[in-house]
Amino acid sequence: MKKVLLALSAFVLVVALSGSASEAAAKKWRIALSNDYAGNIWRQTMLNDWKAAAAEAKALGLIEEAPDFTINDGSAAEQAAQIQNLILEGYDAIVIQAGSPTALNAAIRQGIDAGIVMLCYENATTEKDAWNIIPSYHDMGLTQTDFIAKHFPSGGNLLEVRGIAGTTVNEDIHNGILESLKRNPNLKVVNEVYGNWTQSVAQQAVAGIIPSLPNDIIAVVTQGGDGLGTVNAFQAAGRKIPMVIMGNRYEELEKWKELKSRPEGYTTMSVSGLPGISTIAFWTTLEVLGDPTSVPKELHVSVPVIYDDQLDHFLEITPKGGVVTIRFPQSWVKEFIANAKAGKPAPAAPSN
């Protein structure tokens, strides 16, 4: 009788454990995206890429929902309040396009303490227990300034158009520029403005300071979404158009091609982060939800650079009014994470 009871107990335990495993396997996650700003085509494309990944995951039965929420005025205080509300709504994970690297830490900590996966992308957080997916924006600043130094070995005066003050992206690009300037001391930034990664804002800001700029501005370092506005400001002022670094938007690439076709020609490059980083963040969040120990706390992705010989190709594949992007599939993200853990480079980017 004792052996029968033991056998029955073991059977009940196995059934109970199997039931728990089945319930876990059948879990459909609820994921929320907290976004601090949507006032330009890059952010709008980023949100569309997120929606595409979420729709695919829902069709596969992997999630219950993955809505995105954008605050109205871009303030860190409002975004922190938004995150706190999402915590109360019981999401399994909150993915954050953060408006500040530090101001959201208390809200992010609340989520972590509540057992919620907290993951930031593009604009990182300094909260040590959150996950971060960080583009190489420091290299973006380096690359464009080194490019200018190569084409102007005698040096000259630069204008810097920055992004949104207080964000990690803005600071990382700016610091990359500063690092390049240290090794190219014959280049000098004589003034800076904030363009908010938006053509109209950049055009107005640049137009406002052009009268005070020296006539020999050789180039403008930028942050993406501000190249066309900068060119337009110089044209409207009747000034010679300097080498303006473009930001992978269709209209910027189109303007580059137009200037290049002129008898005097035009040389520049284009660089910007990928809006599709939101799809990397989405699929990475699913990996963390499945096994938090399987994903490094910090992952790094590169930013795409377009040079002269690639201009026509990217004009062809980028929609008018759009921006160069890639939607990364779940399989690529799994390989990306595995490579990062093994100290290997990221796999080749997929073609959409």
Are 71 and 79 in contact by the 8 Å Cβ rule? The answer is yes
Decide if pLDDT at 10 tops 80.
no
Instruction: Tokens for 130, please give them.
Output: 């959150």
pLDDT at 169 over 80: yes
Interval 117-139 mean pLDDT: 95
Q: pLDDT band at 2, cuts 50/70/90?
A: very low
**What is the band of 72 on the pLDDT scale with cuts at 50, 70, 90?**
confident
Numbers of helices and strands, H then E, in the chain? 12, 13
Q: Output the pLDDT for position 112.
A: 98
For the CA atoms of 125, 127, 131, 135, the dihedral, rounded to the nearest 10 degrees, stands at 30
User: Which residue would you say has higher pLDDT here, 305 or 11?
Assistant: 305
Q: Looking at per-residue confidence, does 16 or 344 come out higher?
A: 344
**Which tens digits make up the pLDDT trace of 231-246?**
999 999 999 999 999 9
Mean pLDDT score, 288-295: 97
Give the C-alpha separation, 319 to 259, whole Å.
20
Q: Are 84 and 113 in contact (CB under 8 A)?
A: no
Please give the share of the chain, as a percent, with pLDDT higher than 90: 86
Residue 111: predicted pLDDT: 98
- Joined together, the tokens standing for residue 93 give 């994970």
12-41: pLDDT as tens digits: 333 333 333 333 445 799 999 999 988 889
The C-alpha angle with vertex 257 and arms to 193 and 190, in degrees rounded to 5, equals 25
Asked if the model's pLDDT at residue 216 lies above 90, the reply is yes
Does residue 11 carry a pLDDT above 50?
Answer: no
303 vs 48: CA distance, rounded Å: 19
Tokens encoding 83: 């995150």
User: What pLDDT is attached to residue 39?
Assistant: 85
Identify the structural domains of the chain with CATH numbers, from first to last: 28-136+274-303+321-341 (3.40.50.2300), 137-271 (3.40.50.2300)
Q: Is the pLDDT of residue 135 over 50?
A: yes
* pTM of the complete model: 0.86
* 206 closest CA partner among 189, 190, 194: 194
